[in-house]
Structure 1
Amino acid sequence: MIPALAITQTAGYGVLYYAFSVFLTPMSVSLRTGVAQLTAAMTLAVLISGLVAPLVGRWLDRRGGRGLMTAGSVIGTLAVLAWSRVENLPQFYAVCVALGVASAMVLYEAAFAVIVAWFSPARRSGALLAVTVVAGFASSIFLPLTGFLVASYGWRQALVLLAVGYGVVSVPLHAFAVRSRTSPRLSPRVGPALRERPFWLLAAAFLSQTGAVAVMGVLLVTYLIALGHSPVFAASVAGLLGVLSVTGRVLTTGLQTRWPIALITAAVFTLQATAAVLLPLVGSSVPGAVVSVVLFGLGFGVATIARPALLASRYGTAAYASISGALALPITVAKALAPLAAAAVAQVAGYPAVMAAVALSCVLGALALVVYERSAVGEPADPPAPAS
């Protein structure tokens, strides 16, 4: 199941998320519309995935992932095929709604719920790491692949090829390799968990850091160019983020044997805050830019494996997907809206102000995890009881 999920997560993120950036320019020319309007459509897809996440979580807790992820793969395939036929913005916005629904059903949140439900705590960290290490290379694989397909066949035919490839790979793997519950379960009660202080500390920590990561992912290249670097250098250095995210995940998983994951993650968030402070100060030099990006990049993917580990250790597995889905909603909203807010701040106050906000967000996330570790982990709550 783990190799299957590693493959489907790589293909899913590559086709349903990362490939979009390659289609921006040819679509804007073909549809005679602005890049900003197309980008807003993908922002809608991200928001839809967050809105659907609580419903997906409840389904996963009751019935497992096989049927849901298989259906999500079919929806994703059909949505990308429909994308290849769009002729105007309203049609593309409708496609993005479908892409958002499919993403909630097949990407990390759903895959992690399956892993948490089926693996013991001793094997869970290794399983999460294996999936995220492989999927961490999705952008490295699919950005150049999509660029080649667009250059060779045009953007519409490229989407058809990506859709067919995704469907051929993901539908059978989800249908035959993903474990599912043998019988339906009653939905567990998650209300008590969502009302307690530790949940909101985790929400504050990951919401703050996710917003910071989203801002850096979108604006880093532009800021490096504004600091005086060439576009080629800026893009190359920013490309380190994907590789470094894998490195950070491996280090975090290894350190869990010695220290609590909440404190490890807090330390990584603090490194990211330091990087955001350094970038305006030393980023105009090549070594300064590289050091700043490396420090920030080490935490680029740490939250991805820290969040499921913390939720599972605190609340158990009975209601993991429901609680994770509830937590995913505000985090996804932050991921979608933070870059837009940061771009507005950059226009008014400049990029140093944006970096200060990024640093503050990372510090707040680190502090929330330290408080969580001191107040919650020592006395874990009982898993939410099933509904009567």
Structure 2
Amino acid sequence: MIINTANVTKTSWVGVISLGLLTITSYGSWLYGFGVLINPINQTMGWSTTALGLTYGIAQSISGIGAFFGGRLLDRLGLKAPLSLLALLGGGLMMAAFSAESIFTFGLFYATGAGITGATGFYHITTVASARRHPQRPDRAIAILTIVGAFCSPIYLPLTAWLVENQGWRITGRILAALAIAGALQAMVLASGGRSIQSRPSARPLEALRKSIENPQVRRMLIAYVFAGMAVSTTLVYQVPILTAGGLTIGTAGVVGGLRGFCQIFGRMGLTAAVERHGTIKLLRSAYLLSALGVALLLFGALPTGVAYSVLAGIGIGASSPLQAMYARTNFAEGDLGLLMGLQGAAVGLASGIGPIIGGILHDQTNTWVPTLFMISFALVASNLMLRSQRKTLKTKLKPTIVAKNL
């Protein structure tokens, strides 16, 4: 068997770890960090939870729509193209937002910068790039990537809370943006490549998208991911405010949120072997239910139940991210994998934008987080049910087809 090495210039696991660091800085810069900033911004500027939730939701929507573009850039040009956008526009606009004095200016700059960061640095980019670096062991590459990425929450939540308490929310936001830029730059050096290595990207991307969406199995998968995206996004952005509403200090709430992120690691350890034995769908459905149970514990508003939430939801959410990528990869053509994973990213991104907006409105209208928590739990159960009727349980340990190329 001859392996095409045209685009695999570095095949060590260093590249995958570098992509894991990119994942940490991209997600941490706003997907995790913004939830800690909500209360301080609200208290100092008087901007409502709904307005801040709308900013976050727009960022998620931009990230989702931009995922098509980010994935297409990866397929055709490799990692340097999307990561250049991340460093220049994503991190740059987020940094500029923290000098704003009005909610409109802040929302415009922050949502755009965060959305670009998500479109060019989230898992739909890094999982594809990791799998392509190791075409004979793609699931192992994804598993390693997501184990590294699981350190994002335990690092960023307590770090952001500590920075806010000592430096204020503006300086904290600038530091988070600078780390996102640094993460993109190091990945451009250590994890180059990322283009399709088995076949050329489709010359007609819209046709590739249409054919994929016509597949009923893909449609049900995307609907399940949409519900999960709404739930997870709302959980991440509001977990710290929910915990502080239960009586915890912002520092303690940040630690509890960080513990949830740390527990994601346990949801990803040994995942490749578990998939070979049980299949992705069975494990993914179990992960959704475990996450729903963990979120429901936040209804009790105490430190012990907060810790229990961290463990259960951490394991469930931690397992669901790589499992979703593994299952989606088996449904998409390799040549357009970046584009089609962008389809998944777009669906999840748009849903992830809607979830926090609805969650914020529910809180502002009722002055309690209970309706928001019920919405999250319902969405996770719905994700489980959407995968129930899939016709076949896939085991994603696939034998890749390697295309030979005469150089």
TM-score of the aligned structures, taking structure 1 as reference length: 0.81
1:110 corresponds in structure 2 to: 125
Instruction: Report the alpha carbon displacement of residue 157 of structure 1 after superposing the two structures with TM.
Output: 4.4
Q: Does 1:299 align with 2:313?
A: no
Instruction: Report the alpha carbon displacement of residue 144 of structure 1 after superposing the two structures with TM.
Output: 3.7
Q: Is the 8 A contact 1:47 1:100 kept in 2?
A: yes
Q: Is the 8 A contact 2:157 2:258 kept in 1?
A: no
Q: Does 1:170 align with 2:184?
A: yes
Question: Amino acid of the residue matched to residue 120 of structure 2?
Answer: M
Structure 2 Cα separation of the partners of residues 174 and 277 of structure 1: 41
Query: What is the SS of the residue equivalent to 2:88?
Result: helix
Query: What is the SS of the residue equivalent to 2:276?
Result: coil
Higher mean Cα deviation, 157-166 or 255-264?
A: 157-166
Q: Does 1:320 align with 2:337?
A: yes
Q: Does 1:62 align with 2:80?
A: no
In structure 2, runs of 5+ residues without a counterpart are 1-14, 402-407
Q: Is the 8 A contact 1:116 1:317 kept in 2?
A: no
Inter-CA distance 181–376: structure 2 relative to 1 (3 Å threshold): closer
1:214 corresponds in structure 2 to: 233
Q: Is the 8 A contact 1:252 1:264 kept in 2?
A: no
Question: Amino acid of the residue matched to residue 304 of structure 1?
Answer: S
Structure 2 Cα separation of the partners of residues 293 and 153 of structure 1: 27
1:339 corresponds in structure 2 to: 356
Equivalent residues in 2 for 1:38-117 (5 A)?
38-96=52-110, 97-117=112-132
Q: Does 1:308 align with 2:325?
A: yes
1:133 corresponds in structure 2 to: 147
In structure 1, runs of 5+ residues without a counterpart are 384-388
Q: Does 1:3 align with 2:17?
A: yes
Instruction: Report the alpha carbon displacement of residue 299 of structure 1 after superposing the two structures with TM.
Output: 0.9
Higher mean Cα deviation, 26-35 or 166-175?
A: 26-35
Instruction: Report the alpha carbon displacement of residue 107 of structure 1 after superposing the two structures with TM.
Output: 2.1
Inter-CA distance 171–340: structure 2 relative to 1 (3 Å threshold): same
Instruction: Report the alpha carbon displacement of residue 104 of structure 1 after superposing the two structures with TM.
Output: 0.6
Structure 2 Cα separation of the partners of residues 35 and 144 of structure 1: 21
Question: Amino acid of the residue matched to residue 365 of structure 1?
Answer: S
Inter-CA distance 354–373: structure 2 relative to 1 (3 Å threshold): farther
Instruction: Report the alpha carbon displacement of residue 71 of structure 1 after superposing the two structures with TM.
Output: 2.8
Q: Does 1:250 align with 2:269?
A: yes
Aligned residues: 377
Inter-CA distance 80–210: structure 2 relative to 1 (3 Å threshold): closer
The structure 1 residue matched to 2:392, chosen from 371, 374, 379, is 374
Structure 2 Cα separation of the partners of residues 47 and 195 of structure 1: 23
Structure 1 Cα separation of the partners of residues 145 and 89 of structure 2: 22
Structure 2 Cα separation of the partners of residues 19 and 352 of structure 1: 23
Inter-CA distance 25–315: structure 2 relative to 1 (3 Å threshold): closer
1:386 corresponds in structure 2 to: none
Inter-CA distance 231–315: structure 2 relative to 1 (3 Å threshold): same
C-alpha RMSD of the superposition:
3.6
TM-score of the aligned structures, taking structure 2 as reference length: 0.78
Structure 2 Cα separation of the partners of residues 273 and 193 of structure 1: 29
Instruction: Report the alpha carbon displacement of residue 100 of structure 1 after superposing the two structures with TM.
Output: 0.9
Instruction: Report the alpha carbon displacement of residue 341 of structure 1 after superposing the two structures with TM.
Output: 2.3
Inter-CA distance 290–53: structure 2 relative to 1 (3 Å threshold): same
Q: Is the 8 A contact 1:50 1:104 kept in 2?
A: yes
Higher mean Cα deviation, 66-75 or 190-199?
A: 66-75
Structure 1 Cα separation of the partners of residues 104 and 331 of structure 2: 43
Instruction: Report the alpha carbon displacement of residue 125 of structure 1 after superposing the two structures with TM.
Output: 2.1
Instruction: Report the alpha carbon displacement of residue 343 of structure 1 after superposing the two structures with TM.
Output: 4.7
Instruction: Report the alpha carbon displacement of residue 367 of structure 1 after superposing the two structures with TM.
Output: 2.7
Equivalent residues in 2 for 1:9-48 (5 A)?
9-24=23-38, 27-28=41-42, 33-48=47-62
Q: Is the 8 A contact 2:26 2:183 kept in 1?
A: no
Q: Is the 8 A contact 1:56 1:325 kept in 2?
A: yes
Inter-CA distance 95–181: structure 2 relative to 1 (3 Å threshold): same
Structure 2 Cα separation of the partners of residues 39 and 157 of structure 1: 21
Structure 1 Cα separation of the partners of residues 306 and 332 of structure 2: 41
Query: What is the SS of the residue equivalent to 1:313?
Result: helix
Inter-CA distance 319–108: structure 2 relative to 1 (3 Å threshold): same
